[in-house]
Chains A and B, each alone.
Chain A
Amino acid sequence: MSIGILGYGVYIPQYRINKAEYVKAWGRFAAAGIEEKAVPGFDEDSVTMAVEASMNALDHAKVDASKLNAIYFASTSSPYAEKLVSSTIAMALGAPPRVSVADFTSSTMAGTSALLLSLDFVASGRGHFALIVASDCPYADPGDFLEHPLGAGAAAFVVGEGTPIATIEGSGCTTIEALGERFRKHGEKFIETLGIPAYTQAVIMNTVTSSVKALLNSTGRKPSDFNFVVLPQFDGRLPSGIARKIGFEETQFVPSMIVSQVGDAGAASPLIGLAKVLDEAKPGHKVLVTSYGAGASSDAVSINVNEEIMKRKGAVSSVKDYLADKKYIDYIYYLKIKKMI
């Protein structure tokens, strides 16, 4: 028995809007490297997306919801500013009333924060099984170019004692105070930015690079040790900039790229990226996952893929399955469905 990731699952809503629709409406699509993005249906939100991803993860892990000791929900777009929604997810899954829950909000880094803390929860002996689910559909003003890359999706991981499909080797973190990049004040519906691209870019690059260096130092690894690297995907261009700075090759980070089809799925992006590479990974592979949250902090997590993963391949719908199941909508319908008109 060891502690690690027992299973995972994702959910991507079926609606897509493509670049051409934005170009028709605005004359341009201000989202580098994004071809189309996922859109939650009229009756979906970060909670309903989380439920489906969680059910996939529990099936994949072969863990019954009644066994869960903790459920952590991570999102920047919880429908409630105050009121737990991990409790809603707990009941929808059929988790027992004694389950410990927490909502991790207000940062696109919330997914990896919850993942790392769920491991601590199990390692400290507080419980045997934890489910973490990052589910997000960030909102910005449709008149703001910041809105263009925003997509949607969810990824869930079951962490616990057993025969893990993957284990966490180590993690690194860097936190600095940064102002005026992505933020949303209390009572506001939309994210904003002061729109200083060069500054924002530099803060993201330096923080992520530094967390990766912290991880490399503590684990004694070098960039070339990793088969797959998941870099922050706020657009399709950022990952190559970060990769160049640290020394990762395209072959390492391209397989994790989901932003070109899903858009920026906020706190869920790093974990959907991780799910995508785990779908393809073989035993013995090493994966590096990074996240970034404005304000600013970055996690870097090193993951070893185990033999057990081969037994679980194809057990539940993959990232590819969800990416292939899609229905295109036009820009007006997009605004209606996102309740922006």
Chain B
Amino acid sequence: MAHVSIPSYWKTLPQRYCLIGMKCKNCGTINFPAREICISCKQKSEFEPKKLSGRGKIYSYTVIAAGSAPPEFSEQEKLAGSFPVAIVELEEGLRICAQITDYEEEDLKIEAEVEAVFRKIYEEDKVIRYGLKFRPVKKRKSLP
């Protein structure tokens, strides 16, 4: 999570704002983030956008301790002292790395069900970088 320039952040907005992955037309694997060569079949295939559900489980997590956060997160660290980052295994089977928010200590455990939420990730050069975090499943009811 080092410095990301505005143009490269901008290019990846569909992935950062609403979990759009790229589905390989050759083997069907969802590549997230998008890649030139499919991670599964290793072909320079064609891809189609595929929106991921945003529901998943904590696969593993770590708590970023005071003093070890990247500079863009220093303000957040000052407030919370530390903050959790998890590898989330999505329903679709792939794993992504994101912060956990709106949690209680007991929510931080392997296999805990989480859902994506749109939040401020950090602010740099006065520009707010929005993106997705995950929170314990409790709030939004899903439709039958």
Please indicate whether A and B come from the same complex rather than being unrelated chains.
yes
For the complex, what is the distance from the CA of A48 to the CA of B80, rounded to whole Å? 20
Q: Do residues A44 and B120 form an inter-chain contact, with CB atoms below 8 A?
A: yes
Give the residues in chain A near B119, CB-CB below 8 Å. 41, 43-44, 48
Q: Do residues B140 and A317 form an inter-chain contact, with CB atoms below 8 A?
A: yes
Q: Write out, one digit per residue, whether chain B residues 104-144 have a CB within 8 A of any chain A CB (1) or not (0).
A: 00000000000001111100000010100100001111110
Q: Do residues B120 and A45 form an inter-chain contact, with CB atoms below 8 A?
A: yes
For the complex, what is the distance from the CA of A322 to the CA of B18, rounded to whole Å? 23
For the complex, what is the distance from the CA of A315 to the CA of B121, rounded to whole Å? 30
Q: Do residues A94 and B51 form an inter-chain contact, with CB atoms below 8 A?
A: yes
For the complex, what is the distance from the CA of A88 to the CA of B79, rounded to whole Å? 26
Q: Do residues A93 and B18 form an inter-chain contact, with CB atoms below 8 A?
A: yes
Q: Does chain B have a CB within 8 A of A55?
A: yes
Q: Do residues B80 and A42 form an inter-chain contact, with CB atoms below 8 A?
A: yes
Q: Does chain B have a CB within 8 A of A195?
A: no
Q: Do residues A55 and B140 form an inter-chain contact, with CB atoms below 8 A?
A: yes
Interface of B is mostly: mixed
For the complex, what is the distance from the CA of A93 to the CA of B13, rounded to whole Å? 12
Q: Does chain A have a CB within 8 A of B14?
A: yes
Those of A32-74 within 8 Å (CB) of chain B: 41-45, 47-48, 51-52, 55-56, 59, 62
20 further contact pairs, Cβ within 8 A, besides A43-B119, A91-B18 = A41-B101, A41-B119, A43-B101, A43-B121, A43-B133, A48-B117, A48-B119, A55-B140, A59-B140, A79-B128, A91-B13, A92-B18, A93-B18, A94-B51, A315-B141, A316-B140, A316-B143, A317-B140, A321-B139, A325-B138
- Between A and B, 30 residue pairs with Cβ closer than 8 Å are A14-B102, A41-B101, A41-B102, A42-B76, A42-B79, A42-B80, A43-B76, A43-B101, A43-B133, A44-B120, A45-B120, A45-B128, A47-B130, A48-B118, A48-B119, A52-B117, A55-B140, A59-B142, A91-B13, A91-B18, A92-B17, A92-B130, A93-B18, A94-B51, A315-B141, A316-B140, A316-B141, A317-B139, A325-B138, A336-B79
